[in-house]
Amino acid sequence: MHSHAPAPTEEEIRGVVAPLASLEGPLLPMLHALQETWGFVPQAAVPVLADILNLGRAEVHGVISFYHDFRDHPAGRHVLKICRAEACQSMGANALAESTLQKLGIGWHGTTSNGALTVEPVYCLGMCACAPAAMVDGKVVGRVDDARMDRILAEVGA
């Protein structure tokens, strides 16, 4: 499990990002690579990225913090995103989200105590026609009602 892994060292971070330095606009690919490797973007990566790309530390932090999807700590084994944009809200997404969080006993961005699932809000998955929508580990699910949500939760072991 990610959360118990030792913090990545500077050398490990360099190993992951250095090969991407020749890309055009390399910062985002590097951040994705870090998140793919460790499940989050370690703070220790900020000075390393700043050094490799000759940026200020602040700039790197600005980019990372701009994107909600870059995490500063590992998520659970699965990630559920529930859409909270207008179309889904009008189709009952708020109630669905509330009952889901209650069932799991967590809040937004929280992870279940067994480490199985993290729940996050998302603002529009482009699935307005099938609202309310959600996304499980990158796979979109439409017309989510309580029953479908229960199936999802069972599937991921939450």
Q: Which residues here bind other proteins, judged by CB under 8 A? A: 43, 46-47, 50, 54-62, 65-66, 72
> Which of residues 65 and 113 has its CB atom nearest to other proteins in the complex?
65
- What is the rounded distance in angstroms from the CA atom of residue 115 to the CA atom of residue 91? 30
Nearer to other proteins, 52 or 149 (CB): 52
> How near is the Cβ of 69 to other proteins at its closest, in Å?
12
Cα–Cα distance for residue pair 71/102, rounded to 1 Å: 23
| Burial grade of 94 (CB within 10 A; 0-12, 13-18, 19 or more) | middle
Nearest approach in angstroms of CB 124 to other proteins is: 14
Tokens 């990002």 belong to 17
Q: CB-wise, 48 or 141, nearer to other proteins?
A: 48
First CA to last CA distance, the chain: 15
Least distance from other proteins to the Cβ atom of residue 120, Å: 15
State the nearest-atom distance from the C-beta of 68 to other proteins, in Å.
8
Comparing CB distances to other proteins, the nearer of 123 and 157 is: 123
Helices (H) and strands (E) in the chain, counts: 7, 4
